[in-house]
Homo-oligomer: A and B are copies of this chain.
Amino acid sequence: MAAVSKGGSVSMRSMASKTPVGFVGLGNMGSPMAKNLLKNGYPVIATDVFPESCKELQETGAQVVDSPAEVAEKADRIITMLPSSPNVKEVYTGPNGILKKVKKGTLLIDSSTIDPAVSKEMAIAAEKMGAVFMDAPVSGGVGAANMAKLTFMVGGVEEEYHAAQELLTCMGANVVYCGQVGTGQAAKICNNMLLAIGMIGTAETMNLGIRLGLDPKLLAKILNMSSGRCWSSDTYNPVPGVMEGVPSANNYQGGFGTTLMAKDLGLAQTTATNTKTPIPLGSLAHQIFRVMCSRGYANKDFSSVFQFLREEEGQ
């Protein structure tokens, strides 16, 4: 798919041929994402704070450089995939950051999941340098990243959306335009908050039903044909034995770690606090996953909340 930017202001950025794409952050997610750019014929200029993270991508054909600033010298489209807000600040505005060397008209796409307020800050800083910043966090895990099946939620000026989409479709199956800068993050955070609430709710409900004498498969079936239905009940049921191919069928290995869910709920809480928005269930969900992290569930899939709540007294 070859979308073309409608925005004349960034006309210096070459779109016609596959010019190099910069990539900062080669972790579990970033590395397969960058590979999918290579597979689609884009030269990749990459860097990471951990040099060893770059080796595999280098062998696959990417050019590895020393700093985000250097990436910015060599590419006018750059994707970043980093663990948290402070990393994003450092990579963009730090002493060796992208904005130190960014060329006018460069398209900056941040796929990290961070506070939308930080996305807005970065967008303002980028604009001062004549560059364009968009937030494009993903849903889907390492498996989806490998298979280019991620979903991207994109925030930023609409004129640049098609330019971003050209690259994002190499790495994902769905690309959704959400609105102004920060709304990609907002959509991601909102979805994961509701997911967290639905999962804990499903775990409580299944546990209560089992205690009251209901067969778990039957209960799931009843919920799924009724108004209790949700993604956690019909697609990712947390009770072992109800579904196959989900973490609950595999001792809560794989999937989406409790610690990652707690991080996303922390972002939801922070944005809610800053906007004075009440989120009573979202807050409590945050606290529950936070306690679970302290009680040995940090690296289990977040559906292990069923196990956390279930255990019988005396056991």
Contact = CB atoms under 8 A, between A and B. Distances in A.
A63 interface: no
A211 B197 CA distance: 19
A171 to B, nearest CB: 17
Contact of A294 (B189, B214, B285, B310): B310
Interface in A231-254: 231-233, 235-236
Nearest to A200: B281
A137 to B, nearest CB: 12
A201 B194 contact: yes
Interface stretch (A19-27, A35-43, A51-59, A176-184): A176-184
A233 B308 CA distance: 27
Contacts of A276: 262, 290, 293, 313
A212 B290 contact: no
A233 B230 CA distance: 9
Q: Which of A193, A204, A286 has the most CB of B within 10 A?
A: A204
B291 A208 contact: no
B294 A204 contact: no
Interface of A: 116, 139, 151, 153, 174, 176, 178-180, 182-183, 186-187, 189-195, 197-198, 200-202, 204-209, 211-215, 218-219, 222-223, 225-233, 235-236, 259, 262, 266, 268-288, 290-291, 293-295, 298, 308-315
19 contacts: A153-B222, A176-B222, A178-B222, A179-B215, A187-B219, A190-B223, A191-B223, A198-B198, A204-B279, A204-B281, A204-B282, A207-B277, A227-B231, A227-B232, A227-B236, A229-B230, A278-B291, A278-B309, A284-B284
